[in-house]
Structure 1
Amino acid sequence: MFDLKIFRENCLKMTQDELAKFIGEPLEKISRIEQKIEDIPLNIFLTIASKTGMTPDQLSQYEKPVACPINPEDTWQQTKFTKRTIVDYIEQGCAANATFWGDDYHSFIDGLRKGISAAVKKPKVALIGRSDVGKSAMINAIIGTEKMPTSWTPTTSIVVYLKHISDRPSYIEDEAWVFKAGKDASESWDDSRLSDEAYCRQWKIAGGTADILSSYGVRQGKHFATKEAGAAVIFVESEVLKNCDIIDLPGFGTGDRNEDDAITLNAKKAADVLIYLSIANGFMREEDIQYIKESISSLNIIEQSSEVDIPPLSNLFIVASQAHTVSNGNVTSLNDILDLGCERFEKTLPEGYWARRSSVSKKSYGHDVLKSRFFTYTTDIEHLRAKFESELKKILELLPRLINVRIKDFVRIYAEQSGIRLDIEIRTYTEMCDEREKYIKLLKEIEAHETERANDNQNRRMGIFEKIRTYKADSIDRFASEYGTLITVDNIVKIMKDRKVEKKKDDVQAFSSYLSSVLEERVQSILETKSAHLSKDIDDYLKVFASSHNIISSSDNPAVTINGVEFNVKRAFASGLAGLATFAGLAFWAGSLGNLGAYILVAEGVSLLSAVGISIGGTAAAVSSVAAIGGPVVLGIALAIIAALSVFAIFSGGWEKSVAKKLVNAYDEQDALMRFKDCIETFWDQTEIAFSAAADSLENEWAGYVDNLSTMISEYDIEAIKHKIAVARSIKNFFEHIPL
């Protein structure tokens, strides 16, 4: 039976009002027909056939075009098998040795169990873009079923997580759950805690079928105005969801709710693959370019892996959506649009934009690499989406393989580190059996100097805080100076002439985007430089901490000892960083730990793909940390400047000076300098929090070490110590035989 609404939306691509005018009928008539209040009259049916050039038979047999779902090879199955094998090995080992091992060695086993269970997470694919570009429609096509509400008006108003049906916990019987909104954009339901029933029930506000999104998750829904809902999860039987989770984010720039942009910016940080949609007939407007640049700065650098060959920027997709609207899908026209879009994007990039990413991945980024990440998409015409679907399928097959490699790397490193710690314990306990008096003397020395040591360490700790505050002041002063030099009429005119900016609206807006990126690069450069200085300060702080306890460390062995008794200073300090929202200025130091840093953080539940930024170098970690704080601020200022220029008329004569004046005034109106200063202050305030957490962890672990030493001496029992040696050897053997 002919469905007018489906035909109008999917074939004609018209609104009800446009169709009414097209065929010369009242809008109310069209509305009643589409609502099935009345049947379509024969004369209207024939008019539509005539106007569209179709025969009545063709029209009556019209069906909505359906894109085939993406069906990647289930490479997650191998990753899942690896995880299950290791978890089973742990559980069986614990069950068989629980009585013999006792409680003393839970930390060794729990760290491995926690790292495997919490850090092995499916890749997340996030779709972002301005409102009404077809994100939800693309998701429905990718998964092969209509689960996301779609409309001609902006639709999705909350963050929606789509997961495979097999990932649904046993306590959830519904197809979908809706969760309440947090107090602000940074506080929301955490999908990584899906297995935590108490947590999820605390956040839940409704459950049911996927249709529940029509009430809570769309702008037309009856609960939209209450702002009650913030996120939802839907469980779907779909091949593609075996390899990944998909996140549908609210569109930018709706104006409906100020928090939508902040919610999207916060949620996309979890993405391992980013799909940015920009409508083909308005492709890569300056606002799109700003959003994409902000997104790239925080996107995981997955292409650095030597084990799995991943081409540069493979987890970035810039998509011209609804491609059929451009000359009926003409390929030449669409390629021209992609070329121009890429060219506009590159014109806004400051010199050395890709240098940081290249220093991490050891790969080159140029025009060809960037252009390869531009795609067309429409559900209507298969060949216009074929390249996108092929590339998406490819990366969704590669990422589980990369995670599988990372699992094995983590377990291997964990086993090695645990073996080192256990060897030291075995040696310590053996010596304690033979040389108890030495350890009694050691404990007395520690206790005699503990008050002095604690006071001295507190003073040095305050010294680090003072350095952080000095770096904050220096960073603000340095940026204010550079801002004052850059954002002047004469300097802007000079840069415009150097860059050969033409007297065109697009050129001027692209230049304003470039200027914003230059400012962002200046902030990043200043903060990275100061963070590198802080990294050296932290190393000095830890060296003094070690020397104050006569701790001996080996360059080949990250474990450290006091006269043979293990205490790992760096490990104790770094453990305090796990779980923090950002490391801020300590990211550079954390990156210097290499695999040790990744091992510590993964053991605390940080995802394997996220930990890559730590294991491959401080620069990546520092850049990501800066972007996490500065990105939204820079984006907000840049969009406001672009908006100001959009209503600015470019006159003849000294037009460059007119534009420069307008830019300077726009930056002043946005109070840009103060907002950048606030961003820098926030960065260093977060650095203080991170250092405090790490220093507390160091002190707490040291206190635990001293207590353990005291217990071993005061409750000296030769048989008990021999038992500890036997247990340590047993656990070491357990780690040496983990199935990899």
Structure 2
Amino acid sequence: MQRDILSASVALSHFEVIAMLENKVEMKVAAFLRESRDRSGLSQHEVVSRSDLFGTNKPILSQAAISRLEKRPFSVDTLKTAAYLNAIGVSQQEYHSIIDSFSISEIKGNTMDNVITEKKQAAISMALEALEQVKSLIVVSSYPYLKAFDLESVFSSVAASIKGLDRKPVIGCFGKFDSGKSTLINTILGTDTLPTRFQPATSVINLLVHIEDRPKGINSDVMIMKKGFMPNMLHLPDAVENFLVDQGGKDLLTQLGTHNYQDEHTEAYIAIVFHDAEILRHICLLDTPGDTEGALGNDDELAVAGTEIAEGLVFLSQANGFFGQGQLALAFEAFKNSPPLREHDKKGMGILDHFLIVQSHCHSEMLPEQISVIADVATTRTFKQFSEQSFGQWEKKGFTSRLPESDEFRSRIRPFWRENDVYRSAVIGAIKKMAEQLETNQLSLLEQEIEKRLEGLMERLNSVIGQLEYNKKATQERIQEVEEKDARFRDQADSLEKEFKKLIASCAQRLKSDVEHMRMRFDHIKSTDCLTSKIKSLYENKKDAQEDIGDYVGQWISSELQARLTESGESISSKLELLIEQWQKIVPGHDFSKQEGSSEKVGGVDVDASFNAHAAFIGGLSGLGSLGAMALYVSTISSNLGAYILVGKAAGVLTSLGITGSVTTLTSFVAAIGGPITIGLALAAGIGYIVYRLVGGSWEESLAKKVSKAIEKQDIWPEIEAVVNKYWNSTEKSMNKGFKALLKQTDEHREKMKAEARFDFDPVELSECIQALEKGSQTLANKLHAA
């Protein structure tokens, strides 16, 4: 069976193989159900009459539902399945054990995981071999004329970038304290690695990685890192050294990574924990703090920041009080920040396959039917709110063309209790499947990113060829051309400099405009009329409204703020891009773009082997803590810059934003303002404490008035205004620094151009350089064509 599957995987995509395996299991389960009903001697009609689970004399099943269940059992919700099993006399434990046994027989040995891992390694190895082959053809050190282009650094940077793509997807666990996050991760690992207790335990983000991924020079089981460290920096020695707070054994987690109320280390932000669990060969696991109401420090900031690290998300909530008061705010934020991959990148993944909702603490005294009803009720109560606050944001930002359906949402809910074999195996199985899908998708994106880097390098070589061809011209002719171009640059640069300064100065007006807009939106949202209308549209009863409205309104205001800043940031970024493109065009360069074998642009960005305005500007942002709108700008254009931005300070900026080490280009909004927006979490808690009793006529209006007063009492407007101020102040500072770097590198480039024009080149040696570069470029072209 495994040999057949491996053979099929050569012809089929990885997701087609996964689907094939799942379909095989489902068909076997369907056959088991039909056989079990036959053994019970019951017809489908008789099963309908026996499907009353709760003594109400109202059957849960219809004959159509039974027919569907006996054909496609995995498409039927758990309550109907439980009713069917109860009717034919099969226990749920037996049913889940049968599923596990069928699954193991089909997928035993993690066949898909091994195929994916081997393919990732093969793709990276082939790319690195291509680089070495091209580098050996050029023999950089043997050609003095090529040293000016610093191709050694280009090859090294492209190689490092390709190696950096070999990162594992991160699946993060989120939820309030005592929801069982650390317990679930310990269960997956098979050891009690993370501290657990009934009071809030985790005070840092815990990232669990395989022991084989431990950086060179680190021999401990735990590293405690400062704020700013990203998973993609794990194999960057300088970053590890700069961000390292301490290292040691597992006791270090208790010392620096838990709430002990007295001796919490102020610099401890993320703990890297090394473990030999097999699943960590394919993914990393993330554990986050859960005291998001702020009583014990900055748990809210850490939890939200964690959502921007994870590609897969597991949200835990206790079955008793499932998605209760104070939990939805974090869930809204977590789901909003964890969108599915864009439609063209999804490669067969369902819109919600990247997250799982776990009903924790499903102890033995809770019947499966009770647990299922709790999940059903929670879905009915919260789905519309999730659609507006989380899923709707995905659609607005272009991550999906459709919103999930409620049954899709319900299908992602699983019960969990560590001592229950069925629940435990089902949850761990779902997480492993998510891991496999994420890793498979990452393989596809990795191959695309490798291709982009090799194409960028090829264009870089072609650009150098063009410049060397230009250097064959007579010295006096080159001197005259450079002087003419420099004169044209001086004529046009002054007016363009003024446009840059005008755009930078507009930050003050944009700040004022955003403050006014948010003030208007804030006043509207907290008005009684607006809140009454929203309550009527979302909630069918007073109890649900009282329980959830604080979480909803808090996230509503937070989402409005983030959406406004993103829109404003994209506006100034588009104007900046036009100016930088114009600057690139007027800077003195060589007229070789239309020669055969060279290219005028790479991914829409002008190419010049000796100068790149984008890299110069972005390199100037190095060392800044928060970039404001420039974080959005960098992420928007980075995928089009090929090999040109992978050298020097610009590469460091991309690394700090988590772009170069990741196969995603979604830049953390945290980078824009220097920290996550947690206003919604704090406001939700404040409203929840105040709104508890309603009297009078219209309960909707009464509740709206209380919420409005609660918002006023929280006095959060100064916090909203502070976020807007910080965003635009950071934007202005970043743009000023980037523009100064652009001017400086432009002047250096102009002087270099003049010096080169006065140099007498040897035509024979130029031809030798060109011939070597053409061989290298053709080798890359052949590799890309073969791929």
Aligned to 2:777: 732
Pick the aligned partner of 2:529 from 455, 478, 490: 490
RMSD: 3.8
Letter paired with 1:173: N
Equivalence for 1:403: 442
Instruction: Report the CA distance between 1:239 and its aligned residue.
Output: 0.7
**Shift in CA distance, 217/493, structure 1 to aligned 2, threshold 3 Å:** closer
CA distance in 1, matches of 2:270, 2:676: 25
SS in 2 for 1:173: coil
Q: Deviations over 1:211-230 (max 9, x none)?
A: 44344444469x84566754
Q: How does 1:215-364 map to 2 (within 5 A)?
A: 215-219=255-259, 224=263, 229-253=268-292, 257-302=296-341, 304-306=343-345, 308-324=347-363, 328-349=365-386, 351=388, 354-358=391-395, 359-364=398-403
Question: What is the match of residue 682 of structure 2?
Answer: 636
Which of residues 207, 210, 215 is equivalent to 1:169?
215
Match of 1:87 among 114, 118, 128: 128
Contact 2:358 2:414 in 1 (8 A): yes
Task: State how far apart, in whole Å, the 2-side matches of 1:399 and 1:579 are.
Answer: 32
Supply the AA of the counterpart residue of 2:729: D
Letter in 2 for 1:210: K
Q: SS where residue 640 of structure 2 aligns?
A: helix
Is the Cα–Cα contact under 8 Å of residues 119 and 602 in structure 1 kept in the other structure?
no
The Cα of 1:321 is off from its aligned counterpart by 1.0
User: In the alignment, what sits opposite 2:163?
Assistant: 117
CA distance in 2, matches of 1:723, 1:712: 19
What is the distance in 2 between the residues matched to 1:677 and 1:71? 55
Between 672-681 and 494-503, report the one with greater CA deviation.
494-503
AA at the equivalent of 1:86: A
Is the alpha carbon distance of 1:398 and 1:251 closer, same or farther for their aligned partners in structure 2, counting shifts above 3 Å?
same
**In 2, Cα distance between equivalents of 1:135 and 1:349:** 21
d(CA) in 1 for partners of 2:444, 2:576 = 32
Q: Which residue of 2 aligns with 1:99?
A: 141
Q: Distance in 2 between matches of 1:378 and 1:106?
A: 56
Task: State the partner residue of 2:556.
Answer: 518
The amino acid across from 1:87 in the alignment is L
Is the contact between residue 679 and residue 716 of structure 2 (CA under 8 Å) also seen in structure 1? no
1:671 partnered with 2:715? yes
Q: Which residue of 2 aligns with 1:16?
A: none
Separation (CA, whole Å) in 2 of partners of 1:363 and 1:492: 27
Structure 2: distance between partners of 1:693 and 1:410:
29
Q: Give the structure 2 partner of residue 13 of structure 1.
A: none
Deviation of residue 412 (structure 1)? 1.5
Q: Secondary structure at the match of 1:314?
A: coil
Q: CA 1:303–1:592 in 2, change beyond 3 Å: closer, same or farther?
A: closer
SS in 2 for 1:323: coil
Question: Which runs of structure 2 are paired with 1:593-632 in the superposition (5 Å)?
Answer: 593=637, 595-596=639-640, 604=651, 606=655, 614=665, 631-632=677-678
- Asked whether the equivalents of residues 179 and 232 of structure 1 are also in contact (C-alpha less than 8 Å), the reply is yes
Separation in 2, partners of 1:300, 1:703? 43
For the residue of structure 1 that corresponds to 2:178, the secondary structure is: coil
Q: CA deviation at 1:292?
A: 1.2
The one-letter code of the counterpart of 1:483 is F
Q: Which amino acid aligns with 1:271?
A: A
Distance 1:602 1:634, change over 3 A: farther
CA distance in 2, matches of 1:402, 1:581: 31
Question: CA offset at residue 242 of structure 1?
Answer: 0.3
Classify the secondary structure of the residue corresponding to 1:282. coil
**Cα shift at 1:502:** 3.1
1:312 counterpart SS class: coil
Show structure 2 runs of 5+ residues with no match: 1-103, 594-599
Shift of 1:140: 1.6
What TM-score results when the alignment is normalised by the length of structure 1? 0.78
State whether structure 2 residue 767 is matched by structure 1 residue 722. Answer: yes
Q: Distance in 1 between matches of 2:622 and 2:412?
A: 34
Aligned to 1:479: 518
1:360 & 1:460 partners in 2: Cα distance? 34
- TM-superposed CA distance for 1:357, in Å, is 1.7
Deviation at 1:717, TM superposition (A): 1.6
Residues in 2 aligned to 1:367 and 1:694: alpha-carbon distance in whole angstroms: 47
Kept after mapping to 2: 8 A contact 1:302/1:609? no
Identity %: 18
Query: Shift of residue 165 of structure 1?
Result: 1.9
Q: Specify the alignment match of 1:6 in structure 2.
A: none
CA distance 1:238–1:503, shift in 2 (3 Å) = closer
C-alpha distance 254-541 of structure 1, shift in aligned 2 (>3 A): closer
- Shift of residue 349 of structure 1? 4.3
Q: CA deviation at 1:105?
A: 1.1
C-alpha distance in 2 between matches for 1:199 and 1:732: 33
Q: Contact 1:630–1:679 at 8 Å: present in 2 too? A: no
Distance 1:305 1:443, change over 3 A: same
Give the whole-Å Cα distance in 2 for the aligned partners of 1:524 and 1:556: 32
Alpha-carbon offset, residue 636 of structure 1: 2.1
SS at match of 1:160: strand
In 2: Cα distance, 1:220 partner to 1:566 partner:
55
Q: 1:630 to 1:236 in 2, by over 3 A?
A: closer
Contact kept, 8 Å, 2:207 with 2:273, in 1: the verdict is: yes
Contact 1:71–1:240 under 8 Å retained in 2: no
Residues 329 and 681 in structure 2, CA contact (< 8 A), matched pair in contact too: yes
Alpha-carbon distance in 2 for matches of 1:85, 1:275 = 35
Number of aligned positions between the proteins: 654
Query: What residue in structure 2 maps to residue 706 of structure 1?
Result: 750
Alignment check: 8 A CA contact 1:217 1:224 kept: no
Tell me: CA distance 1:459–1:311, structure 2 relative to 1, closer, same or farther (3 Å). same
Describe how 1:558-573 pairs up with structure 2 within 5 A.
558-560=604-606, 568-570=612-614, 573=617
Cα distance change of structure 1 residues 151 and 513 upon mapping to structure 2, 3 Å threshold: closer
Q: Which amino acid aligns with 2:211?
A: I
How far apart are 1:608 and its partner, in Å? 6.4
Q: 1:477 to 1:311 in 2, by over 3 A?
A: same
Q: 2 CA distance for matches of 1:220 and 1:556?
A: 53
Deviation at 1:513, TM superposition (A): 3.0
Q: What displacement does 1:249 show?
A: 2.2
Q: 1:329 to 1:693 in 2, by over 3 A?
A: farther
Q: Distance in 2 between matches of 1:254 and 1:532?
A: 32
CA contact (8 A) 2:339 2:399 kept: no
The one-letter amino acid of 1:357's match is W
Contact 2:526 2:708 in 1 (8 A): yes
**Length-normalised TM-score, structure 2:** 0.73
How far does the alpha carbon of each residue in 1:67-114 deviate from its partner, in whole angstroms, 9 at most, with x for none?
x9x985333343234324433554565467353366431243133123
Q: Identify if the C-alpha distance between structure 1 residues 220 and 698 changes in structure 2 by more than 3 Å, giving closer, same or farther.
A: closer
Amino acid aligned to 1:440: I
Residue 531 (str. 1) matches residue 569 (str. 2): yes
Instruction: List per-residue Cα deviations over 1:36-71 (Å, max 9, x = no partner).
Output: xxxxxxxxxxxxxxxxxxxxxxxxxxxxxxxx9x98
Offset of residue 290 of structure 1: 0.5
Letter in 1 for 2:437: L
Q: CA deviation at 1:207?
A: 4.7
Q: Does 1:650 align with 2:650?
A: no
Is the 8 Å Cα contact of residues 321 and 377 (structure 1) preserved in structure 2? yes
1:416 is the counterpart of 2:455:
yes
2:616 and 2:124 map into 1 onto residues whose CA distance is 27
Whether contact under 8 Å (1:297, 1:623) holds in the other structure is: no
SS of corresponding position for 1:235: strand
- Provide the C-alpha distance between the structure 1 equivalents of 2:292 and 2:574, rounded to a whole number of angstroms: 43
